[in-house]
Structure 1
Amino acid sequence: MCDCDSDSVDSYYETVLKLTKEAGKLINEKIKIRNKKREIKSSNIDLVTETDQAVEKLLIDGLSKEFTTHKFIGEETVSSGGALELTDAPTWIIDPIDGTLNFVHSYPHSCVSIALFINKVPEIGIIFNPMLNQLFTARKGQGAFLNGEPIHVSDTKELSEALLMLEGGTSQEPERMNAVCENVKNLLPVVHGLRSLGSAALNMAMVAAGGSDAYFEFGIHIWDIAAGELIVREAGGVVIDPDGGDLKRFSRRVLCASTQELAEKLARKLVQVYPEPDA
């Protein structure tokens, strides 16, 4: 078993929090640049910028210097051919800028998302939107916080009272796009409203904070949801597969909600999409 006593996790948390704030300063400096250099990944709306790469390097270099045995799953590292494997070893799962398309347009809803898993269990989750100074944090068993103040999910159980978060995503594959349109058409008449921040992590953070009641997406990756999973659960919410079963972290599918009742009702309404799993 890997060392995850409270003193060790305290040290991990203090270190990653400091590095995350440094990453936030870098993002704030670069978001002001209108014509950001970027590259296309899977489609013309799936982008990577030099800042994504610089933030991931800052985090991995800083953490690996302090914790030499820790492992990493980083979005840009994996995109460049790095390993995508979650073992029992302490593993940092990093999305350096979740909401890169927002970042490219200087739209202020992008964030650093980083989580620490030990024995395949999330122990630390941090989502930081430096543009709006929103710092969401959670430690296993210690609750969830926004800028140091406790947060909790809503008590919404009915779709008719729910504000839902969803995304168009970065895939332009016809089956997936059709499912998104069908879900919007089916849900819009029966819920309070639909919202989209353009960031999986921030959508999950909004559910944790009670600002929205549920969120689902097909086509995400583990780095999009790793921190949000812990933050939502520590805020009293549920995180499951969109078909109503247990969350499968590499399935590229997620549904989170304020209550189990709402999660189940939403799952029953969805047109399902099953992307190729990551592992």
Structure 2
Amino acid sequence: MAAVDLQAVHDTLVSVAFEAGRMILAANPSSISTDTKMNAVDIVTETDQAVERMVTARLRAAHPSFAFVGEETYQPGVTRITSSPTFIVDPIDGTTNFVHGFPNACISLGLVVDRVPSVGVVYNPFQDLLFTGVRGAGSYMHRNASLEDGKGKGERVKLPLGGDRPLGDLSSALVSIEWGSQRDGENFEVKARTFRKLAAAKESGGGMIGGMRSLGSAALNLCACAAGQLDMYWEGGCYAWDVAAGWCILSEAGGQMVSGNPGGWETEVDSRVYLAVRGASAGQKELVEEFWGVIGDGEMDYKH
């Protein structure tokens, strides 16, 4: 296969993201039908499904030779991400936020090539906030992104926003964590123990973390980390479509994605267990190892 024109793919994804954003904003969460997948907190709406159908049609028309993996068409144990160029799509990341009218939801559009996140577009239509990344070409944040020039359109700003300032230890870190939809079993226990230890005082063996946040969207967590607004993001249980786009944006901002389980400096796009650290001139390795030390012997294991 000929080399992929990543910039052309980026331009297509941005156009698709704006169209998806208009569909999301036009929906009335109080009147749309919802269903659940795993349990009551694992929600899917008719808007998720409609957006994915539109995205699928647009991307297959533009790049018919590329593979496609979408959250709403994923088949457990069947769907696989290969080395072929593959679009990996979450039509609404942050569906629980969406149905509550909480303005932290987005469309996440990623392209992986040889299983490496190579283009990422994440768009929050409620805030008209766009994050983009192209492998080898940097990543950017754009406020009021859908407006016409001269009508309040914001500047396209290279990430990270504050430069690659050094990282400190956990006591000065702002870290995003998520409970996820699995609320029992050993994976849940690892999270619960880690959350408690992160928050506890150092005198009692804790990490005395500077602050913990839960944005409710893996893609937006990764973009905030890429922007330098968060220092780290830890989660187990999410899928490739939650992280593929944000991973590219993070990497192009100098950030690093490692395993959410201790010791894994290399991890796969579909590993389902992730720890992201923002770009920094110093301190990435030390902060990752300190975080892994809080997890200790715990290990999360999620099936595909």
TM-score, structure 1 length as denominator? 0.92
Q: What residue number does 1:146 align with?
A: 141
Q: Paired residue for 2:216, among 193, 198, 203?
A: 198
Q: Secondary structure at the match of 1:186?
A: helix
Q: What residue number does 1:66 align with?
A: 62
Q: What residue number does 1:9 align with?
A: 6
In structure 2, how many angstroms separate the alpha carbons of the residues matched to 1:22 and 1:199?
A: 20
User: What is the Cα-based RMSD across aligned positions, in Å?
Assistant: 1.7
In structure 2, how many angstroms separate the alpha carbons of the residues matched to 1:103 and 1:179?
A: 28
Say whether residues 1:238 and 2:256 are aligned partners. Answer: yes
Q: Could you tell me how far 1:260 is from its partner in structure 2?
A: 2.7
- Structure with the greater alpha carbon radius of gyration: 2
In structure 1, how many angstroms separate the alpha carbons of the residues matched to 2:109 and 2:263?
A: 26
Q: What residue number does 1:265 align with?
A: 290
Q: Could you tell me how far 1:181 is from its partner in structure 2?
A: 2.1
Q: What residue number does 1:53 align with?
A: 49
Q: What residue number does 1:92 align with?
A: 87
Q: Could you tell me how far 1:140 is from its partner in structure 2?
A: 0.3
Q: Could you tell me how far 1:83 is from its partner in structure 2?
A: 4.6
Per-residue CA deviations over 1:133-172 (Å, capped at 9, x if unaligned) read 1111000011111012111165313111100100011112
Alignment of 1:11-50 (within 5 A): 11-30=8-27, 32-50=28-46
Q: Secondary structure at the match of 1:87?
A: coil
Say whether residues 1:168 and 2:179 are aligned partners. Answer: yes
In structure 1, how many angstroms separate the alpha carbons of the residues matched to 2:31 and 2:187?
A: 30
- Which AA in structure 2 matches 1:104? V
Say whether residues 1:250 and 2:270 are aligned partners. Answer: yes
- Which AA in structure 2 matches 1:156? L
Q: What residue number does 2:109 align with?
A: 114
Judge conservation of contact 1:238–1:260 (CA < 8 Å) in 2: no
Q: Could you tell me how far 1:244 is from its partner in structure 2?
A: 3.1
- Which AA in structure 2 matches 1:149? V
Per-residue CA deviations over 1:149-200 (Å, capped at 9, x if unaligned) read 1111653131111001000111122433332221121001311110001111
Percent identical among aligned pairs is 34
Q: What residue number does 1:177 align with?
A: 188
Judge conservation of contact 1:43–1:172 (CA < 8 Å) in 2: no
Q: What residue number does 2:123 align with?
A: 128
Say whether residues 1:274 and 2:300 are aligned partners. Answer: yes
Q: What residue number does 1:208 align with?
A: 226
Q: Which runs of 5+ in 2 are unaligned?
A: 143-155, 201-207, 279-283
In structure 2, how many angstroms separate the alpha carbons of the residues matched to 1:51 and 1:275?
A: 30
Tell me which stretches of 4 or more aligned residues in structure 1 moved more than 3 Å. none
Q: What residue number does 2:204 align with?
A: none
User: More deviation in 191-200 or 253-262?
Assistant: 253-262
Q: Secondary structure at the match of 2:89?
A: strand
Q: What residue number does 1:103 align with?
A: 98
Q: Could you tell me how far 1:36 is from its partner in structure 2?
A: 2.9
Q: What residue number does 2:146 align with?
A: none
Q: Could you tell me how far 1:118 is from its partner in structure 2?
A: 1.6
In structure 1, how many angstroms separate the alpha carbons of the residues matched to 2:299 and 2:38?
A: 18
Per-residue CA deviations over 1:4-59 (Å, capped at 9, x if unaligned) read 35xx22222211110111001111111x4324311010011001101111111111
- Which AA in structure 1 matches 2:12? T
Change beyond 3 A, Cα 1:154–1:205: farther
Q: Could you tell me how far 1:82 is from its partner in structure 2?
A: 9.1
Judge conservation of contact 2:29–2:98 (CA < 8 Å) in 1: no
In structure 2, how many angstroms separate the alpha carbons of the residues matched to 1:206 and 1:155?
A: 17
Judge conservation of contact 2:111–2:118 (CA < 8 Å) in 1: yes
Judge conservation of contact 2:132–2:140 (CA < 8 Å) in 1: yes
Judge conservation of contact 2:215–2:221 (CA < 8 Å) in 1: yes
